[in-house]
Amino acid sequence: MRWINVALAAVPASQTPSAGAGQTDDVALLIERQRLFGNPSRIQGRLSPDGQWLSWIAPVNDVLNLWVAPVDHPDSARALTREDTRPIRSYFWSPDSQQLLYVNDQGGDENFRLYGVNVESGEQRTLTPQEGVRVQVLGVSRHIKDRIMVGINDRDPRWHDVYQLNLDSGELSLVLQNDGYGGFLVDEDLNIRLAEQPRADGGEDFFRVNDLTVEAEPFASISFEDSANTGPAGFTRDGRTMYWIDSRGRDTAALTAQDWDSGESRVIAESPKADITGVMADRDNHEIQAFAVDYLRTEWTAIDPDIGAALAFLDGELKGDVNVTSRTDDDRRWIVVNDPVTAPAETWLFDRDTRTLTSLFVGRPELEGAPLAGMTPLELTSRDGLTLVSYLTLPHGSEADGFTAPRDPLPMVLLVHGGPWARDSYGSNGYHKWLANRGYAVLSVNYRGSTGFGKSFTAAGDGEWGTSMHDDLIDAVDWAIDQGIADPKRVAIMGGSYGGYATLAGLTMTPEVFACGVDIVGPSNLTTLLESIPPYWEAGRQQMYRRMADPNTEEGREWLKARSPLTHTDRIQRPLLIGQGANDPRVKQAESDQIVDAMREKSIPVTYVLFPDEGHGFARPVNNIAFNAVTEAFLAEALGGRFEPIGDALQSSSITVPHGAEYAHGLSDALSS
């Protein structure tokens, strides 16, 4: 019997700063932060390639570690690793089913090392022990059991040399020195077949590699305009066909197959609305069996009839979106994750032979029965006619007409995704659930520049930081106000990375639109941002310049200055909360320091929260909970929503507040307790 612990706390009146703020008589109970953002019970179930083992990530002494059990006896589980500070967040099986392999960094510095742990003995090894070096996994083949291919930038931090890693001995052998290639494509025999080289115009050239010699003339060339949507997607087992996700000659990226010898290509699948985003391939010959398109929601289409029948069975049996996350080598068993959104995701074992589903675990059983809000996909229209795929979540008890029209206008949080060359998608989103539970409408918008909707939509964001990209966000806010969803005087903007930049831009460039802002690791000075990008981003430098501005030109420097929130600090009128990781290699601490110092000099209130053991975002749950505790008290004071008191949420974290604790409700008291 699965153990379930549902802990929901009602909110005393003293914790609802504005009684009835967006609430009705059917107010949902407050869900504790720990239940939403603490360690999950189990996540990332995987089957070993031979089908003998089941693995997952789960806590050991409150830190996420790797666990394993015989597939037919999941109750006989044991922890394989003993990470005591930094959580393990992803891993994979070795092809021989003997080891679990994972990467981890130190304090968020993103200098990832590769580790391996033997399933039988529990022996753990550091497979790439170099200091200050970032490993990349370049090739893993189910047909080659004893080795994988990795990239290591220990010789030149800009470029990853290609190494063969012997999984038995741990020996690293140099295969190819990299003198200016952004990446390599390895086939199913672990042979290097293609080398990608960035061009000065932001495009890419792909060169064949024969006997470890890179040919002089490119096999394929990708223009800058296609660079965000086009790239190789692997080989068939015989190496004679190469797959691409390819926007050349079209707008949305299609799935294509190219003959290696003749160079001729054919289209396998395409969608007029969105790029192909995923594939399933045959376990033996690696021919494509199914493909996914993510527009409003992810939809899978099968090419292979047997795969189609299996997917149809899963769709009929499980409520919510279904994702196949692991398959055995013989393809008889799958791990399937079912996400109903209004309930916690559940992981299942699917036996294809018997057409049976066995529940393995619920990721967050403490949320079963909790009032989790649903999510509604939307198509909004920008002022110049672009379609903006967006996602809206409303609090329980606020719906009067379906899922998009509350009885009365609500306080709203505009939650902006990072990247910006990324996207929001449908599915369980902890921040949507949390904020909706606190009484806010939550709106996420795929503004121009987001990826997944075709190259013209991505290109529409080129050179538009703080202008048309920001206009899309303002248009979405105006839509929500016009529809009676949002109270115009109680709209917040919040986000991480580019979403943090959008927050700072919102408070400086449209200072009267938002009641407050929450910036998480967002850049304030675009000039210093580009000056400090990690060396291993060298291959993408020219693309960044073309999508933003070239700091080597006078025009580019003026653009960067004009679009930098730091330039317009004196325009800030509304409360601002900033969260930063001290070890962030992408958006360095100086980006937050600069704008906090500028605001302090101008006597503009700002609260600055800094974590010395974090990087680009907050990986440790105790830190994430601490920051969210400050955030919800901050939002409640500005917007009038509900909040769970900060209480002792800061005590287990590494939180520091270099400036402005007095501007966030309850923060000074929590720090001193």
Q: What are φ and ψ of residue 538, in 5° steps?
A: -55, -40
Q: Taking Cα atoms as reference points, which of 453, 450, 436 lies closest to residue 376?
A: 436
Among candidate residues 432, 568, 616, 665, the one labeled active-site is 616
396 is catalytic: no
CA 243 – CA 245 distance, rounded (Å) = 7
How many CA atoms lie within 13 Å of 218's alpha carbon, on the beta-carbon side? 13
CA 400 – CA 395 distance, rounded (Å) = 11
Angstrom CA distances, 462 to 351, 447, 548, stand at: 47, 12, 6
State the pLDDT confidence band at 5, using cuts at 50, 70 and 90: very low
pLDDT of residue 488: 98
Tokens encoding 33: 């932060």
**563-578 pLDDT, tens digit each:** 999 999 999 999 999 9
Among candidate residues 497, 524, 653, 654, the one labeled active-site is 497
141 is catalytic: no
pLDDT of residue 508: 98
Residue where the block lists tokens 């791990």: 335
pLDDT of residue 402: 66
- Span 138-164, average pLDDT: 97
pLDDT of residue 26: 53
The answer to whether 323 and 337 have CB atoms below 8 angstroms apart is: yes
Residue type, 358: T
315 is catalytic: no
For residue 20, pLDDT over 80 is answered with no
- Span 49-61, average pLDDT: 98
Q: How many CB atoms lie within 10 A of CB 216?
A: 6
State the pLDDT confidence band at 28, using cuts at 50, 70 and 90: confident
Residues 6+ apart with CB under 8 A from 326: 45, 46, 47, 334, 335
Strands 516-520 and 486-496: parallel
Tokens encoding 584: 């962030």
Q: What are φ and ψ of residue 394, in 5° steps?
A: -115, 150
Handedness of CA 605, 431, 300, 137 (dihedral sign): positive
Strands 265-269 and 172-176: unpaired
CA 379 – CA 397 distance, rounded (Å) = 24
Most distant pair of Cα atoms in the chain: their distance:
73
3-state secondary structure 262-295: CCCEEEEECCCCCCEEEEEECCCCCCEEEEEEEC
What is the value of pTM for the model shown?
0.94
Strands 486-496 and 376-381: unpaired
% of residues, the chain, pLDDT over 90:
94
End-to-end, the C-alpha distance of the chain in Å comes to 40
State the pLDDT confidence band at 3, using cuts at 50, 70 and 90: very low
Among candidate residues 584, 653, 654, 659, the one labeled active-site is 584
Residue where the block lists tokens 């309930």: 343
- Span 569-591, average pLDDT: 97
3-state secondary structure 520-579: ECCCCCHHHHHHCCCHHHHHHHHHHHHHCCCCCCHHHHHHHHHHCHHHHHHHCCCCEEEE
CA 221 – CA 508 distance, rounded (Å) = 41
Tokens encoding 265: 């290509």
Tokens encoding 1: 């019997």
Handedness of CA 241, 244, 248, 250 (dihedral sign): positive
| Angle separating helix axes 621-639 and 430-437, nearest 10 degrees | 40
